[in-house]
Amino acid sequence: MRVPVDGGDLAVEIHDGDTPPVLAIHGVSGSRKLWNWLAAHHFSLIAPDLRGRGDSHEVPGSSIRQHADDMVRVLDALDLQSVTVCGMSMGAYAAVDLAVRHPDRVRALVLVDGGFPMPAHAQMTEEVLSAAFAPQVAARERTWTVDEYVAVQAMVNPVIDPADPLVRDYFAHDLTPDGHLRLPADTLVADATDVIFGTSRWRELTMPTWFIHAEWSTGPDSPPAYTADQAQAFRAELPVLREPVLINEVDHGGTVMTRAGAVVTAEVLAEALK
């Protein structure tokens, strides 16, 4: 379905399942296809392509606050007053902003490897950020076949399985029919800047919250985005936060984009829906 927001229409995919509805918010360079792994577990999902991504790629302007406001429009369009919200990576930060500014719309919150301050961000500068995203920006200057794009992503993301049809579907959704990447570089950098240099209001959360984090960040044995000690420190400060859940032998993307990671994330989401 298409949902009117400031500047255009968001594409929103509805997965019919066996649960109450879950608003699922993807990450900075992702799309609604991220949630296909959870849809396979029979959840009822509301999965938007955020502005600047997928079939919403022509909607201009981007920030964590804007994404949260867009999610209110999505819930209004579906006549839903309050839902469980699941956000991954940047989507977790948007979920926190939504929950803090519109607490009546969020009955429970599941944050997947995001939403809390990442220690690595404290070392980040704008110059380092630009360098980190330079390969992704450069990739937008060429055309790709789906096979080429999936092969490159499998090298960058060694935990994912390129033979998984859901992986192929996910990355194919990044491309226009003529083989260009649909995520504008300025949108990617703007949202990353907002996540890294902005302030998460996680201490203001008031609804039951679950936090899932990965053993690695980008591939086997890489330092995690969050250590177990850091996750416990968040819990000590936030009374509504349940016991953090560590997913072993997956990285950041693998929390959802692998069968093993999706099983654990699905179990936590099912608990949040009770």
Residue with tokens 């959360």: 205
**pLDDT at residue 140 in the model:** 81
Pair 215, 181: CB distance under 8 Å: no
Separation between Cα atoms, residue 108 and residue 244, nearest integer Å: 15
Amino acid symbol at 132: A
- End-to-end C-alpha distance for the chain, whole angstroms: 28
Separation between Cα atoms, residue 164 and residue 70, nearest integer Å: 31
Q: Which two tokens stand for residue 85?
A: 């919200």
pTM of the model: 0.96
**pLDDT at residue 266 in the model:** 98
Separation between Cα atoms, residue 154 and residue 143, nearest integer Å: 18
**pLDDT at residue 120 in the model:** 80
CA Rg, the chain, in Å? 17
Low-confidence stretches of the chain (pLDDT beneath 70): none
How far, in Å, are 38, 93, 170, 215 from residue 229 at the CA level?
27, 20, 33, 12
**pLDDT at residue 125 in the model:** 84
Pair 9, 20: CB distance under 8 Å: no
**pLDDT at residue 214 in the model:** 98
Domains contained in the chain, CATH given: 2-121+199-273 (3.40.50.1820)
**pLDDT at residue 124 in the model:** 81
Which of 13, 61, 46 is closest to 2 using CA atoms? 13
3-class SS shares of the chain: helix, strand, coil, % to 5: 45, 15, 40
Which of 88, 93, 64 is closest to 200 using CA atoms? 93
